[in-house]
Amino acid sequence: MLKMDIANPNAPLEITVGGKLRKEDYEEFGVLVEELIERYGKLRVLFIMDDFHGWSVGALWEDIKFDTQHFNDIERLALVGDRKWEKGMAVFCKPFTTAQVRYFDRAQLEDARAWLDEQ
């Protein structure tokens, strides 16, 4: 499951993922993100993991390609989850982006939103 929401151009892109991401999810996700980058420049992203089970092999490859293409296009990335390995993703992501990356537990969702809104 992949759900994306952007309320307005000044709001962070909210992405909620559940289950296992597939290559097809990245095709949909990539098009939207590229349009947003073209329109607004650097993005702030709220990545919410809800019963997330990782990536299929094809999706993992797409993720690596996306990260390489958009190394400088994400300003801040807030990862929200409730599992130890999800928290580890914040450390794992850092070499693949110039974005400020922070992990928040699910109970801190509003803190994540506030951090993304900070100037």
Predicted pLDDT of residue 53: 87
Q: Which residue has the higher pLDDT, 111 or 60?
A: 111
Q: Assign residue 17 the CATH number of its domain.
A: 3.30.750.24
Predicted pLDDT of residue 77: 92
Task: List pLDDT tens digits, range 85-104.
Answer: 788 777 777 777 889 999 99
Alpha carbon 110 to its chain centroid, in Å, reads 16
Predicted pLDDT of residue 62: 84
* Structural domains counted in the chain: 1
Predicted pLDDT of residue 48: 93
If DSSP states are collapsed to H, E and C, what string results for the chain?
A: CEEEECCCCCCCEEEEEEEEECHHHHHHHHHHHHHHHHHHCCEEEEEEEEEEEEECHHHHHHHHHHHHHCCCCEEEEEEEECCHHHHHHHHHHHHHCCCEEEEEEHHHHHHHHHHHHCC
Task: List pLDDT tens digits, range 42-77.
Answer: 999 999 999 888 888 888 888 888 888 888 999 999
Query: Distance between CA 76 and CA 79 in Å, rounded?
Result: 10
Domain that holds residue 9: 2-117
